Amino acid sequence: MNVIVDIISSAGLWAAILRIATPLIFGTLGALLCERAGVLNLGIEGIMTFGAMIGWLAVYHGADLWTGLFVAALAGMVFGFLHAAMTVTLGLSQHVSGLGVTLFASSFSYYVFRLIVPVAGTPPTIVPFQPISIPGLSTVPFVGPAFFTQTAPTYLAILIALLLAYVVFRTPLGLAIRMTGENPHAAEAQGVDPIRIRYGAVIVGSALMGMGGAFLTLSAFNSFFPTMVQGRGWICIALVVFASWRPGRALFGALLFAFFDAFQLRLQTVVQGIPYQIFLMTPYVLSILALAVMARRARVPQALMQSYRRGER
């Protein structure tokens, strides 16, 4: 019991939570935006991998760190466009198209990486984002080192979550997006173009996913390796359901998952005699449990996974 209290009361744990949560926040917000418009984007895993690769590559070739993040967002947009073209214009199965994008993007990022970076014993590194201490707040004991000495993309992720919550629930654009996800026919009748909204949502959402991937190489680590996303994309898809399609709750869900993850990492080193796989399983088991608790109240966008064809009932 003492061990658990020790872990929870260390500032290092809370700092790690924000660090682990950042890519999840980006990814979850991206997936959430797509699903609010009625498109399930299972391409997230591949888009994050590609974002991680291309952002890192840009910085490795001398670009600014922020340019790297921007390039990753652009690459995400390209894949988002691909997914939107297949699911919105052609009306193909969103699962199949999304998984296809994932397979393509993750293999393609490895291909590009191998093509440009020669094989070496240790992977080449870059100088990642450094933690920024917010003046004043960062000197507060415990809270300061835990929450106010993070890297810039972490603050950006939280800002984007708040911004997205505002846009989705408080602006006409957000209303149009939600309407497209609920009933594209009614949206069309109100003069909203569901096809354009869906395209826009998928492209912007995929840009966020790309940025989430880029955080991994530009801030969390300093080099790229092909398996680095490690299923974070799928976690994000689960978090969207957990968050009942609300950006604020998505932020909370990502932090909660990161808490489980950071906690089990520290528990692993303290508790002996239990196979380490048990600890690695806990975040997933707890996510499923959390889903079972949350799913009752979740209201799925009604037109999610339904392709929209003009003039067809």
Binding to another protein (CB under 8 A) within 137-166 occurs at: none
**How would DSSP label each residue in 84-148?**
HIIIIIS---HHHHHHHHHHHHHHHHHHHHHHHSPP-SS------PPEEEPTTGGGSTTHHHHHS
**How would DSSP label each residue in 172-217?**
HHHHHHHHHHH-HHHHHHTT--HHHHHHHHHHHHHHHHHHHHHHII
Pick from 234, 244, 248, 255 the residue near another protein by CB under 8 A: 234
Nearest distance from C-beta of residue 238 to another protein, angstroms = 4
| 8 A C-beta contact, residue 235 and residue 24 | yes
- Window of 56-64, 131-139, 145-153, 236-244 that interacts with another protein by CB under 8 A: 236-244
Binding to another protein (CB under 8 A) within 56-115 occurs at: 89-91, 95, 111, 115
Pick from 61, 170, 196, 309 the residue near another protein by CB under 8 A: 309
- Window of 7-15, 166-174, 210-218, 277-285 that interacts with another protein by CB under 8 A: 277-285
Pick from 3, 190, 231, 269 the residue near another protein by CB under 8 A: 231
302 binds another protein per the rule CB under 8 A: yes
Nearest distance from C-beta of residue 243 to another protein, angstroms = 12
Closer residue to another protein (CB): 2 or 272: 272
> Site size for another protein, by CB under 8 A?
37
Q: Which long-range contacts (CB under 8 A, 24 or more apart) does 123-128 make?
A: 123/223, 123/224, 123/225, 124/60, 124/223, 125/222, 125/223, 126/56, 126/59, 126/60, 126/217, 126/218, 126/222, 126/223, 127/222, 128/65, 128/217, 128/218, 128/219, 128/220, 128/221, 128/222
227 binds another protein per the rule CB under 8 A: no
- Window of 21-29, 118-126, 218-226, 294-302 that interacts with another protein by CB under 8 A: 294-302
Q: How far is CA 122 from CA 36, 50, 230, in A?
A: 42, 21, 20
Closer residue to another protein (CB): 9 or 302: 302
Binding to another protein (CB under 8 A) within 169-198 occurs at: 183, 185-186
284 binds another protein per the rule CB under 8 A: yes
CA dihedral for 50, 51, 53, 57, sign (positive or negative)? positive
The CA angle 44-202-113, to the nearest 5 degrees, is 40
The three state secondary structure string of 233-259 is HHHHHHHHHHCCCCHHHHHHHHHHHHH
Nearest distance from C-beta of residue 208 to another protein, angstroms = 19
Closer residue to another protein (CB): 69 or 179: 179
Pick from 1, 119, 127, 292 the residue near another protein by CB under 8 A: 292
Position 269: which residue type? T
Pick from 58, 238, 251, 262 the residue near another protein by CB under 8 A: 238
Footprint of another protein (CB under 8 A): 40, 89-91, 95, 111, 115, 183, 185-186, 231, 234-235, 237-238, 241, 275, 277-278, 280-281, 284-285, 287-288, 291-293, 295-296, 300, 302, 309-313
